Structure 1
């Protein structure tokens, strides 16, 4: 039997004076109580130009044809992306943009699953306190996402679910975290602490992300779940799993503030390297040596991140100058006062294995084309 009152009444805005009101008046008159716990109304479906859909205009989008062409998950993602508080637009162009967003989410998950091919989540896991700082940052962003998306699901704000997941995949993961990790994943020893730390974070991110998308991308989530490494007592279907819960202990506000500043510096370094590339000073970013000229306000921050900066900037070398004097011709930041950046060609030779430029490339007589770090890995 159906429960009463209903958990939710869901209809278009025309029902404010229709079903919503008539059922409310009837229920209050008979039972002295509303027939629903919540009411959710949505706008009407219109085409890309905001016109009402009609056969005479030829602008009707048949959902079955969308499913046949692109799959049900694309249609579901479009519904999730729309802010239903106003009229909802749909067109071939809009669906094409949704398909592109879907590919970004899918490819992000695919890359992470590929990075876990030799990872056992039980035997190879690195405890949180022993993880690398960048992996702790990634887990902090994950649990911020879990908290935000959980609240959005609870309040039926599905467009916030879509935008939060997309931004996490496109900005936090693809454009930064996973890009930075490629050196660790591809060139470090397979069982090194740094690589296992990265895989531990990637595993938790992947497992949580699959669960988060499962109410919307139901088929994609189930497909991805099947490729996730051994999960101990986990069930066979993601749709029988509980949603992940946010762990507030992963969110360190002091560390978060430092990371936000470092990411701003990274953005400025990217602008400077692009100008250097356009000027034919460098080709790829790994050909660059970065000189950071910082004032007293920034010196403690960049010194704390000193060992990580080449990896974070995806360059071969970084040198910090804090004497308050910039190099002649250095790139001046317009958004971060006290920051100047000099981009020159990196010193040393290019390692054939990791592609970084290092002074010790060729130091070993037997392996003349690789650096000392890579030599340790292949000799282990």
Structure 2
């Protein structure tokens, strides 16, 4: 300290906020040497913003959700929503164990990974189409909101001992319950509303589907870099798959384009793959090849998907049939995602 090679806590608080300082302390393994620098604090700030922005996104998408009247029963959740609930349950148990063991740096890493990967890079990326374009009270929309609400309730409690100011602010904006909640998150207990809902076989299904999606996304990134497409939704994708993968994808084939976030998707036998397209192997052993081209169909101005039926409806010439069904019809029905 006499040499001046320290960073004053008050300076960090004034510049980045107290919660960033608290997050840095919690994310550092106190059993070893604790180091700090502007770069390390910047990383802590980035991690804090990821967690905070994820919580804000969850709150914004349950703004019209009333947990007292709009909740979907766990057994009726769409499979993608059930996957998130199951994953959050596993994380919840790990978080409680980390707190019990004072293993704060592992806890922070788990929660940050959950916000960045399982939520940000997968679930929220897929489900936003359903939230934004579906009918307000549609089961497919309320299913997603039910799980997002339950995750928001749990996330607020997970981070409360560490990012205290942020958690208390989130607590004040969670949807009101029939039985008034505690006035502060610090007067509440951890939620008991998370339950494991998937079998090991179902978890393996989603793990394989995520691996498939990651592989297609790598090809899509290459296509964007090569200026073949501007965005995933401007793409038409053809998957050439072996027999095992074809059988695996059959149940979800009609909604697979929503998982991959592309406008058009076709699945063909691997034997049909052109010679210039490389063949990939999934971690589970199945083989596939991915062909990506720009869609030549018009773009729906509401959902941004490129669909052949845009322009064929007199009353809504700029919308696709799916959006028209959600606006004027009985509404879209999803079975998986």
Q: TM-score, normalised by structure 1?
A: 0.82
Q: State the partner residue of 1:10.
A: none
Alignment partner of 1:360 is 2:309: yes
Deviates more, 1:289-298 or 1:150-159: 289-298
Q: CA deviation at 1:164?
A: 0.3
Q: Is the 8 A contact 1:327 1:342 kept in 2?
A: no
Q: Which moved more, 1:303-312 or 1:137-146?
A: 303-312
| Structure 2 residue aligned with 1:349 | 298
1:191 — aligned with what? 137
Q: Deviations along 1:205-248, whole A, 9 cap, x unmatched?
A: 10110011111111100001111111222222111111134855
| C-alpha displacement of 1:334 | 5.1
Q: What corresponds to 2:113 in structure 1?
A: 167
Q: Report deviation, 1:74.
A: 1.1
- For the Cα contact (< 8 Å) 2:237–2:290, is it kept in 1? yes
1:67-86 equivalences under 5 Å are 67-86=13-32
Deviations 1:301-349 (A, max 9, x none): 2112212311111101221123533234334325555111111223521
Structure 1 match to 2:197: 250
- Match in the other structure for 2:91: 145
Q: What secondary structure does 1:219 align onto? A: helix
Distance 1:62 1:280 in 2: 48
Residues 9-66 of structure 1: per-residue CA shift (max 9 Å, x gap): xxxxxxxxxxxxxxxxxxxxxxxxxxxxxxxxxxxxxxxxxxxxx321x211222222
Report the 3-state secondary structure (helix = DSSP H, G, I; strand = E; otherwise coil) of the residue aligned with 2:196.
helix
Contact 1:119 1:199 in 2 (8 A): yes
Ranges in structure 2 where 5+ consecutive residues have no aligned partner? 330-337
SS at match of 1:260: helix
Counterpart CA distance in 1 for 2:256 and 2:275 is 23
Once the two structures are superposed, the pairs formed by residues 325-336 of structure 1 within 5 Å of their partners are: 325-333=272-280, 335-336=282-283
What's 2:231 paired with?
A: 284
Distance 1:82 1:102, change over 3 A: same
Deviations 1:162-203 (A, max 9, x none): 000000001111111111111111111111111111111100
Structure 1: 4+ residue segments shifted above 3 A:
245-249, 334-337
Structure 2 CA distance for partners of 1:97 and 1:242, relative to 1, 3 Å: same
Once structures 1 and 2 are overlaid, which stretch shifts more, 70-79 or 259-268? 70-79
Q: Distance in 2 between matches of 1:79 and 1:126?
A: 39
Shift of 1:369: 0.9
Q: For 2:275 and 2:316, how far apart are their aligned partners in 1? A: 38
> What SS class does the counterpart of residue 75 from structure 2 fall into?
helix
Match of 1:206 in 2: 152
RMSD: 1.6
Quote the offset at 1:91 in angstroms: 1.4
1:293 partner SS? strand
Q: 1:307 to 1:241 in 2, by over 3 A?
A: farther
Partner of 1:235: 182
Greater fraction strand? 1
Tell me, yes or no, if the aligned pair for 1:289 and 1:345 is still in contact at 8 Å: yes
Distance 1:136 1:190 in 2: 20
Q: Relative contact order (alpha carbons < 8 A, sep ≥ 6): 1 or 2 greater?
A: 2
How many Å apart are 1:277 and its aligned residue?
Answer: 2.0
Paired residues, what number?
326
Deviation sequence 1:118-164 (CA, Å, 0-9, x none): 11011111111111111111111111110111111111110011000
- Seen in structure 2, the aligned counterparts of structure 1 residues 328 and 356 have a Cα distance that, compared at 3 Å, is farther
- 2-side partners of 1:308 and 1:149: how far apart? 33
* TM-score (norm. length: structure 2): 0.92
State which drifts further: 291-300 or 323-332.
Answer: 323-332
**2 CA distance for matches of 1:323 and 1:71?**
54
Which stretches in structure 1 are left out of the alignment for 5+ residues? 1-53
Write the distance in 1 (CA, Å) between the matches of 2:254 and 2:233: 16
Aligned to 2:40: 94
Structure number with greater Rg is: 1
The alpha-carbon distance between structure 1 residues 91 and 278, as it changes in their structure 2 partners (threshold 3 A), is closer
CA deviation profile, 1:262-318 (whole Å, cap 9, x unmatched) = 101101100111222223322110011111111122222211221231111110122
